[in-house]
């Protein structure tokens, strides 16, 4: 067999093809080509042989079979080892040194409005993908050119080194070929997922379980098209929903319930919890604070959990997405039915609860059923500005054992405090960083999310906890609202009242119309005396406290139990501050940034 190097050319995109073919011929390379590639080169007066000259088999099936032959792939895949060389000699096959190939324009074809299924099928490249993968696999010996932009660099190295190509260039060309075939396969599977496994298909057109959900838009109405999909298995939910809030909130309540063995609920807004809680019983005062004292149905543990989650920060929870760890029951559905929310996700719904929820928004309320057995892949990938970022999923276990390292003089951690620390810390795991959370009686009562400064997180969360507690004040509970005032208007009026917001003009006049008699503002003394009655609050931080001001601020909101990772140069000062306030401070050694 001749030692003359061989290049196999089979391209759809013929950009730069003739210059490449001419340069290779002049450098002594024997050219082989398939179909239209060989025709174009030959018409330009450049010598080239047909692939069929070495396969001794014609192209067939309308061009579907051209290069799929041992004479081609044996020549590409053969390694520079004696056994492979002997196999080639025994079968009269010459080694192929260069493979030049790019693929049918599948993505461009399916983007055309007139594209039919048959059109798409014919644009699925078989031989080209096989050539690229074979050449890339054997890149220790073979150079694979999948992008015309690489022709010039390759020719420069080929000619300057007398037909030798360095490892670095061959390695880079192989990686590009693998990336091309991966992207190509992804486009094909995405197209057929849309054709055969999409939620918008008629039942008779579904080939199996639903794997794709088309969305009206992405984060904003102008971000179209948008979809949610999963590869290799059915979507683990049913329904049309705000996916980011639904899936994040589900992960939180699932973990809360599994850890504490209690019903759990969450209220999510913009990918962070406005509230989260477990199903501890409500006192009569709490029922009034959370607006469920007039509910005719007996409160179940799940209903208690959602009442707490929704009621802790009613202003932030307005228009929330709800997550429930257990089957939604009638009592919980009743609470949901009278609040403004975007949707709910739960592992199931009782028939009566579902009937109640179907009446919301004239039947357009988002009700999502989640498969409780679904377990996500261990790694997660997101794309930012065209760059893919991948990491192991945050599977850190958060339970009572996380708080064993108590670093203060005070050591006592009752079960109730451990429950609150778990609730606060698990909420942080699913909150945009930086974040600090306050918890009390199994519920988040203040959460500071997405702040660049730790102290601002602590102040924001503390301020929300203070307002939550002021809503328990007897004068607040007795506010003389007029009959017929809507729940949302009451929530807003109470928030203005407890925060002491200065109202003027039309805003003041509108606020006053809600009451039978205009209430006098809470005095500073009333607020101070009421605040002093709140103790035993738990506070957790997703990263270390950089300064003791966080500890001092937490104390003002009744915090007795603190949890944060260690690692600050001011750890000792923070512990000293906690000792000053007779607090229990746990170093967790677990950072929980979430972005």
Residues annotated as part of the active site: 137, 270
Give the C-alpha separation, 165 to 158, whole Å.
6
Question: In residues, how long is the chain?
Answer: 595
Give the C-alpha separation, 307 to 317, whole Å.
11
Tokens representing 327?
């089957």
Q: Which residues of 193-219 are buried (b: 16+ CB within 10 A; e: fewer)?
A: bbeebbbebeeeeeeeebbbbeeeeee
The distance in angstroms from the start CA to the end CA of the chain is 60
Please give the full DSSP string across 489-539, using - where no structure is assigned. Answer: HHHHHHHHHHHT----HHHHHHHHTTBSSPPPPPPHHHHHHHHHT---EEE
Give the C-alpha separation, 522 to 557, whole Å.
18
Tokens representing 440?
């009390």
Helices 151-160 and 17-26: crossing angle, nearest 10°?
Answer: 10
- Coil, strand or helix at 380: strand
Tokens representing 87?
């196999």
Give the C-alpha separation, 135 to 176, whole Å.
12
Tokens representing 134?
């074979």
- The number of beta carbons lying within 10 Å of the beta carbon of residue 107 is 16
Give the C-alpha separation, 28 to 97, whole Å.
12
Which of 479, 475, 527 is closest to 499 using CA atoms?
527
Give the C-alpha separation, 430 to 442, whole Å.
17
- The number of beta carbons lying within 10 Å of the beta carbon of residue 48 is 21
Q: Under the phi-then-psi rule, with left for phi > 0, alpha for psi from -120 to 50, and beta for the rest, what region is 589? A: left
Which of 145, 147, 140 is closest to 171 using CA atoms?
140
- Coil, strand or helix at 2: coil
β-pairing, 379-384 vs 387-392, is antiparallel
For residue 455, the 8-state DSSP code is: H
Distances (CA, A) of 367 to 86, 247, 328: 66, 13, 11
Give the C-alpha separation, 13 to 569, whole Å.
60
**Element at 437 (helix H, strand E):** strand 435-440
For residue 381, the 8-state DSSP code is: E
Please give the full DSSP string across 370-407, using - where no structure is assigned. Answer: E-TT----SEEEEEETTEEEEEE------SGGGG--B-
Give the C-alpha separation, 241 to 124, whole Å.
33
Work out the burial of residue 412: count CB atoms within 10 Å of its CB; fewer than 13 is exposed, 13-18 middle, 19 or more buried.
exposed
Work out the burial of residue 136: count CB atoms within 10 Å of its CB; fewer than 13 is exposed, 13-18 middle, 19 or more buried.
buried
210 phi, psi to nearest 5 deg:
-70, 130
């Amino acid at each position: 067999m001749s030692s003359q190097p061989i290049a196999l050319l089979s391209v759809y995109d013929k950009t730069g093809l003739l210059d490449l073919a001419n340069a290779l011929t002049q450098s002594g390379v024997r050219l082989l080509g398939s179909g239209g590639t060989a025709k174009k080169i030959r018409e330009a007066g450049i010598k080239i042989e047909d692939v069929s000259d070495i396969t001794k088999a014609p192209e067939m099936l309308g061009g579907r079979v051209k290069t799929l032959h041992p004479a081609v792939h044996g020549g590409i895949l053969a390694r520079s080892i004696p056994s492979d060389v002997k196999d080639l000699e025994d079968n009269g096959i010459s080694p192929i040194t260069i493979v030049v190939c790019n693929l049918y324009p599948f993505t461009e074809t399916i983007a055309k409005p007139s594209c039919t299924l048959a059109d798409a099928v014919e644009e699925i490249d078989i031989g080209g993908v096989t050539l690229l993968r074979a050449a890339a696999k054997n890149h220790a010996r073979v150079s694979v050119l999948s992008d015309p932009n690489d022709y010039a660099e390759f020719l420069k190295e080929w000619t300057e080194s007398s037909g030798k190509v360095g490892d670095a260039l061959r390695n880079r060309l192989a990686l590009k070929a693998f990336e091309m075939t991966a992207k190509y396969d992804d486009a094909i599977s995405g197209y057929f997922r849309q054709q055969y496994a999409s939620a918008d298909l008629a039942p008779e057109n579904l080939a199996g379980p639903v794997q794709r959900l088309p969305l009206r838009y992405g984060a904003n109405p102008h971000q179209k098209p948008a979809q949610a999909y999963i590869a290799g298995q059915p979507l683990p939910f049913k329904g049309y929903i705000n996916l980011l809030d639904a899936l994040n909130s589900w992960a939180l309540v699932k973990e809360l319930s599994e850890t504490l063995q209690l019903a759990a609920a969450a209220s999510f807004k913009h990918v962070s919890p406005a509230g989260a809680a477990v199903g501890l019983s409500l006192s009569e005062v709490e029922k009034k604070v959370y607006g469920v004292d007039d509910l005719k149905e007996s409160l179940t543990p799940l209903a208690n959990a959602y009442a707490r989650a929704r009621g802790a920060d009613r202003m932030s929870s307005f228009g929330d997405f709800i997550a429930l760890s257990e089957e939604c029951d009638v009592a919980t559905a009743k609470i949901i039915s009278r609040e403004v929310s975007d949707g709910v996700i739960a592992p199931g719904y009782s028939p009566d609860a579902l009937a109640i929820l179907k009446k919301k928004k004239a039947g357009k309320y988002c009700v999502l059923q989640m498969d409780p057995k679904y377990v996500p892949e261990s790694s997660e990938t997101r794309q930012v500005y065209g760059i893919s970022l991948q990491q192991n999923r945050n599977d850190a276990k958060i339970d009572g054992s996380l708080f064993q390292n108590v670093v203060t003089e005070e050591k006592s951690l009752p079960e109730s405090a451990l429950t609150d620390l778990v609730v606060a810390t698990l909420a942080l795991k699913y909150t945009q960083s930086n974040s600090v959370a306050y918890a009390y009686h199994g519920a988040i009562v203040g959460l500071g999310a997405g702040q660049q400064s730790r102290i601002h997180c602590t102040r924001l969360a503390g301020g929300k906890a203070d307002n939550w507690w002021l809503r328990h004040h007897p004068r607040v509970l007795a506010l003389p609202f007029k009959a017929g005032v809507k729940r949302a208007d009451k929530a807003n009026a109470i928030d203005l009242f407890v925060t002491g917001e200065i109202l003027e003009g039309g805003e003041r006049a509108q606020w006053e119309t809600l009451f039978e008699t205009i209430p006098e503002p809470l005095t500073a003394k009333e607020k101070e005396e009421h605040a002093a009655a709140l103790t035993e609050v738990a506070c957790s931080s997703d990263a270390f406290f950089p300064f003791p001001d966080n500890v001092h601020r937490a104390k003002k909101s009744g915090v007795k139990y603190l949890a944060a990772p260690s690692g600050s140069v001011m750890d000792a000062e923070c512990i000293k501050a906690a000792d000053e306030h007779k607090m229990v401070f746990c170093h967790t050694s677990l950072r929980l940034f979430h972005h």
